[in-house]
Amino acid sequence: MPPTQPETYRKRLQTLLLQAAEAMIVEEGLAALQARRIAKAAACSVGTLYNIFGDLDGLILAVNERTLRDLERVIAVAAQRSATADLGTRLMALAIAYLDFAVVHARRWRAVFEHRLPDDRDVPPSYRRDRQRLLALIEAQLVSSIPDAGTRTDAAYALFASVHGIVVLSLDAKLDPFDAAQCERRIRFVVTHAVAGLE
């Protein structure tokens, strides 16, 4: 059954609003987002934005889900390309892919971690699944090294969060300008030591 006319129209507006919000994040960062400006850029009313996404948070979550899926694709490619290498090489490939994504898509990437929902509101299940899939890519590397599933999940999360912490502080560069080689050395320290302890 083909979609009815109003469905198509709604889908098109949804896409336009998503693109407008994403472009605004890319150019100015998450803090600059305003429902009124996004609606104007998508040539619709604020009421329409709320009707489609619930509120501005709903639209931001949708943009961030797109970012997570793009990130997942990049990490998955890195995992595939290094699939036959040893554990250390594979984990470094994933970590460097993460660093590269954060550098290239700095504002979109930052928006994923900067955005906070009101305390009384849950993250939608789709968002949860997107993030779980990303973690699963790291867990998959550890299957033969850590047989216990719970320990493996913790380890994958710890590795992800460690690399994330190094990337976030390096890019924030409160003290020094961003130094990619230094950032990579720090990531390598964590990854190689984790691997040395696992093998």
Residue count (the chain) = 199
| 66 interacts with a copy of itself by CB under 8 A | no
Looking at residue 74, its amino acid is V
CA proximity to 167, closest of 83, 81, 71, 79: 71
CA proximity to 139, closest of 128, 151, 126: 151
The interface region with a copy of itself, picked from 4-12, 32-40, 97-105, 186-194 by CB under 8 A, is 186-194
Tokens of 93: 């490939």
Torsion of CA 164, 167, 172, 176, to 10 degrees: 150
19 vs 72, beta carbon nearer a copy of itself = 72
Residue 175 Cβ vs a copy of itself, minimum distance, rounded to whole Å: 6
Q: Which residue in the set 7, 28, 86, 154 belongs to the binding site for a copy of itself (CB under 8 A)?
A: 154
Q: Which residues contact 197 (CB under 8 A, 6 or more apart)?
A: none
117 vs 140, beta carbon nearer a copy of itself = 117
Give, as one character, the DSSP assignment of residue 177: -
Q: Which residues contact 70 (CB under 8 A, 6 or more apart)?
A: 101, 105, 108
Site for a copy of itself in 160-179 (CB under 8 A): 161-166, 168-170, 172, 174-175
| 32 interacts with a copy of itself by CB under 8 A | no
Q: Which residue in the set 113, 143, 149, 178 belongs to the binding site for a copy of itself (CB under 8 A)?
A: 113
Distance CA 173, CA 163 (A): 15
| 158 interacts with a copy of itself by CB under 8 A | yes
Residue 184 Cβ vs a copy of itself, minimum distance, rounded to whole Å: 10
Per CB under 8 A, residues contacting a copy of itself are 113, 116, 123, 128, 131, 154-155, 157-159, 161-166, 168-170, 172, 174-175, 182, 185-187, 189-190, 192-194, 196-198
